[in-house]
Amino acid sequence: MAKTGLLAPLFALVAALAITTVSSEALADDKCRRVEFKTVAVKEACEKGLKAAKDQMKAFMKKAKIKNCQVCHSSLAPEYKLKPDGLKKYTDAGGK
């Protein structure tokens, strides 16, 4: 009986540590998944991390008066796939 009483808190501690480790790794994964870049701006932003790339694109969208990401992207996180005409729309709006 005493062994069971000691194992339960130990198991709870191990589980809590595992969850914390997984959560920390998810937060640390701040890098772009894309490896091929067709624009200088996105490549440079991705070198700084995913947050920098998102911030750069949000600033561009605001300046270009683009209402949402789906104008150019067919899917968002984690890969941000472009529509067939997504790059053209980006460059037509002033993207480099």
Structure tokens at 11: 């198991």
How far apart are alpha carbons 16 and 83 in whole angstroms? 41
With tokens 């480099």, the residue in question is 96
Per-residue pLDDT at 12: 59
Residue 87 pLDDT class (50, 70, 90 cuts): very high
CA 61 to chain centre: 17
The structural domains of the chain, with segments of one domain joined by +, span 1-30, 32-96
pTM above 0.85, yes or no: no
Q: What is the pLDDT of residues 45-59, one digit of tens each?
A: 999 999 999 999 999
Per-residue pLDDT at 96: 87
Per-residue pLDDT at 35: 86
Integer-rounded Cα radius of gyration of the chain: 21
